[in-house]
């Protein structure tokens, strides 16, 4: 982390995820260089952010319908997810199809199949940290939300047409 901070004077940089020495958790180092008034490097300072803290932050995002939120680093390592067993592991262990989409490092909405079920992936890449936040929502859950208003509209139009035909 020291070398990384020294190589980026004036910038805040992050390390790749690594196992914590003091706790059963995964850490991300956030570091910056220390420079004097002439811009000469004389040290580095940093802190570790645990995956637990990142998970609490990432899971604060609420979606409707409910989705599965992932925070993934540039190497495809899961930094945050409600399933703590995924922390520090490659996203491909959850789904190779999800890994293939997330490693393209582009944002947007895409469809994919996971275990024979259609899902939609909503993702955004952080250009500053090269992390991706992704929300995976089952297509069936989206259809449930849409189905009620559509059926109500079809019913209302049908009743309206029926009333008009009587007149």
Q: List, for residues 71-100, the tens digit of each pLDDT value.
A: 888 888 888 888 888 888 899 999 999 998
DSSP lists the bridge partners of residue 15 as none
Q: In what order do the strands lie in the sheet with 131-138?
A: 78-80, 68-72, 131-138, 117-126, 108-114
Q: What is the residue-averaged pLDDT of the chain?
A: 84
Residue pLDDT, tens place only, 11-59: 888 888 888 888 777 888 889 999 888 888 889 999 888 777 767 776 6
pLDDT at res. 127: 59
Query: Model-level pTM?
Result: 0.66
pLDDT at res. 10: 80
DSSP of the chain:
-HHHHHHSTT-EEEPPPEE-SSSSSEEEEEEEEEE-TT--EEEEEEEEEEHHHHHHHHTT---SS--EEEEE-TTSBEEE-SSGGGTTSBGGGT-HHHHHHHTT---EEEEEEETTEEEEEEEEEETTTTEEEEEEEEHHHHHHHHHHHHHHHHHHHHHHHHHHHH-
Rounded to an integer, what distance in angstroms lies between the CA atom of residue 43 and that of residue 37? 13
Q: Hey, what are 13's tokens?
A: 């940089």
pLDDT at res. 12: 86
Q: What is the mean pLDDT of residues 139-158?
A: 86
Residue 133: band (very low, low, confident or very high) from pLDDT cuts 50, 70, 90: confident
pLDDT at res. 129: 64
Res. 118: pLDDT tops 90 = yes
């Amino acid at each position: 982390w020291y070398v990384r901070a020294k190589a980026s004077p004036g910038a805040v940089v992050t390390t790749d995820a690594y196992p914590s020495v003091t706790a059963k958790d995964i850490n991300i180092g956030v570091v910056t260089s220390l420079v004097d008034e002439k811009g000469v490097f004389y040290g580095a300072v940093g802190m570790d952010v645990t995956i637990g803290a990142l998970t609490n932050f990432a899971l604060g995002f609420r979606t409707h319908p409910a989705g599965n939120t992932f925070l993934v680093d540039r190497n495809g390592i899961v930094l945050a997810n409600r399933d703590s067993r995924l922390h520090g592991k490659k996203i491909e262990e959850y789904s190779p199809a999800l890994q293939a989409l997330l490693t393209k490092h582009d944002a947007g909405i895409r469809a994919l199949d996971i275990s024979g079920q259609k899902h939609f992936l909503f993702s955004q890449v952080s250009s500053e940290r090269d992390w991706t936040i992704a929300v995976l929502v089952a297509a069936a859950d989206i259809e449930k939300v849409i189905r009620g208003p559509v059926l109500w509209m079809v019913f209302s139009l049908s009743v309206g047409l029926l009333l008009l035909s009587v007149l």
